[in-house]
């Protein structure tokens, strides 16, 4: 057994009973470096903004984080009404400050648990969020979004 493997095994044995870090805690701890880390997706944010129908007036952004995708969306739809939901209070605080002049309704919570009603939004976006969950959970989420 090589030294790296032995070190990893010792660490796993030592930490096996420690509780897992929650997703909210993970993102809250990384809020200061998040936008720089995610800047690699700028072209995709712009591409997603172009996909939205021209008549979009209301938008649901699930897993909105600091609103990096909204930066591009607002450049196309300056008066869009946005409902954003995210697990991280810190991320939502950055989004709120960054777009204080926009019509934002921000929810700190789990988008799988939130009741958004029906036919309330013209469009729904999710960027770099659904990969954190199982295919079964994502399917349920996408089915809910399809009726919104």
Instruction: Specify the CATH number for the domain of residue 133.
Output: 3.40.50.150
Domain presence at residue 4? no
Domain membership of residue 70 as a residue range:
23-147
Written as six digits, the tokens of 52 are 């939205």
pLDDT digits (tens, 9 = 90+) for 13-27: 887 887 766 667 777
* pTM, two decimal places: 0.73
Place of tokens 């399917």: 139
Residue predicted with more confidence, 98 or 21 = 98
pLDDT at 97: 96
Q: How far is CA 86 from CA 25, 75, 79, 106, 136, in A?
A: 12, 22, 22, 8, 20
Is 14 within a domain? Answer: no
Let me know if residue 83 belongs to a domain.
yes
Q: Is residue 103 part of a domain?
A: yes
pLDDT value for 147: 46
Give the separation between CA 29 and CA 33, rounded to whole angstroms.
Answer: 9
The count of structural domains within the chain is 1
CB-neighbour burial class of residue 147 (10 A; exposed 0-12, middle 13-18, buried 19+): exposed
Instruction: Flag whether 120 is in a domain.
Output: yes
pLDDT for 87 beyond 50: yes
Locate the DSSP E strands across 35-102: 58-62, 81-86
Kindly report, residue by residue over 34-43, the tens digit of the pLDDT: 778 778 778 9
The predicted model gives 30-56 an average pLDDT of 86
């Amino acid at each position: 057994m090589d030294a790296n493997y032995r070190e990893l095994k010792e660490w796993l044995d030592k930490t096996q009973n420690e509780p897992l870090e929650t997703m909210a805690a993970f993102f809250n701890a990384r809020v200061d470096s998040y936008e720089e880390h995610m800047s690699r997706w700028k072209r995709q944010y712009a591409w997603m903004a172009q996909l939205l129908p021209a008549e979009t007036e209301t938008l649901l952004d699930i897993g909105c984080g600091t609103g990096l995708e909204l930066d591009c969306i607002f450049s196309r739809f300056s008066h869009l009404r946005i409902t954003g939901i995210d697990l991280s209070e810190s991320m939502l605080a950055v989004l709120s400050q960054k777009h204080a002049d926009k019509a934002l309704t921000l929810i700190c919570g789990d988008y799988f648990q939130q009741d958004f009603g029906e036919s309330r939004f013209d469009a729904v976006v999710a960027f770099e969020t659904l990969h954190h969950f199982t295919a079964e959970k994502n399917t349920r989420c996408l089915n809910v979004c399809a009726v919104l």
